[in-house]
Structure 1
Amino acid sequence: MSEKATAYNLYVVVFFQKPRFKDKKMLESRVAQEKIVGKHVFGNLYNCPENIISDEKYLRKIVREAIKQANMTLVSLRSWSFGGEKGGVSVIALITESHVAVHTWREYNYATVDIYTCGEESSPEKAFDYIVQHLRPESVTRYFADRSSG
């Protein structure tokens, strides 16, 4: 530690009061309410039509609509088009529940889709299926990860 650096000790004291529940059912209900529900759907889309995965405006439109279809709340949508021989498009949506991302590679007719949500009200599976339907790949690999707290 240098002469000018000062060490600080931070002590945090937290007092927990054990919740009182009249019965086991009430306790289980309370615990269920505190669970974090995280759903992560992601995948690879192969042999997509080049004209579709190169169209930034169209990709933005399908991401917006997928968010609506899946009962998610859009906060912000950004996109970038990468020109040149090996161009592609990236669309990233920040949603209240987490995020939706689509990345495309025109030269490979390839796209990736990544959707993560928190909460029980939204359906990342619906959003994923909507995007896949509109990108029209010849084949898809789809993955699901349960990112819940318990």
Structure 2
Amino acid sequence: MNGLHLIADIYRCKCPPDMLLDRAVLEDICVRGCADAGLTPLGAYFYQFTHDDGQQAGVTGTVVLAESHLAIHTWPETGDVTLDVYVCNFSRDNSDRARAVFNRIIGLLEPEESVCHDVIRGRIPAEV
């Protein structure tokens, strides 16, 4: 289960509004971003929230990867997003691939501010 978990709280995004409001647009960005980074998408589920009047609201979504997952949640009212990318490093080190998709999506969102954390998951091998 050794791996890398990248976590971001992203604030006041200046990206085109459809990135935060449109399920299909955000899903395409996330799935394509994972594949372009060398990760293996196995499936995706993205949900479009709507306001009472039927207008698009936020989106929540996950991309299940052979290497683990990407999860994203948007709050277009404030321009905020949370993003998680977790990769297992069991059969190969996927850390650079995870960082590539993580940084690409954050760059596309054009935030005024982001708070990011790298969490090393699993057991760290003992030094010999």
Compute the TM-score of the two structures, normalised by the length of structure 2. 0.81
Structure 1 equivalent of residue 99 of structure 2: 125
Match of 1:58 among 22, 25, 30: 25
Counterpart selection for 2:11 from 46, 64, 74: 46
Q: Following TM superposition, by how much is the alpha carbon of 1:140 offset from its aligned partner in structure 2, in angstroms?
A: 1.0
Q: Deviation of residue 137 (structure 1)? A: 1.3
Residues 62 and 44 (structure 1 numbering): CA distance in 2 closer, same or farther, change over 3 Å? same
Higher deviation after alignment, 94-103 or 48-57? 48-57
Percent of matched pairs sharing the same residue: 26
How many positions carry a matched residue from both structures? 115
C-alpha distance in 2 between matches for 1:73 and 1:67: 7
The CA distance in 2 between the partners of 1:89 and 1:74, in whole Å, is 19
Q: CA deviation at 1:109?
A: 1.0
2:78 corresponds to 1:104: no
Unpaired stretches in structure 2, ≥5 consecutive residues: none
Q: Which has the larger radius of gyration?
A: 1
- Per mean C-alpha deviation after superposition, the further-off stretch among 130-139 and 119-128 is 119-128
One-letter amino acid of the structure 2 residue matched with residue 110 of structure 1: D
RCO comparison, higher one (Cα < 8 Å, 6+): 2
Calculate the TM-score normalised by the size of structure 1. 0.70
Give the alignment's Cα RMSD to 1 decimal.
Answer: 1.8
Higher normalized strand content (fraction of residues): 2
Q: How does 1:1-150 map to 2 (within 5 A)?
A: 36-49=1-14, 51=17, 52-84=19-51, 87-119=57-89, 120-122=92-94, 123-150=97-124
Q: What's the CA shift for 1:69? A: 2.8
Q: Which whole-Å CA distance do the structure 2 matches of 1:126 and 1:148 have between them?
A: 21
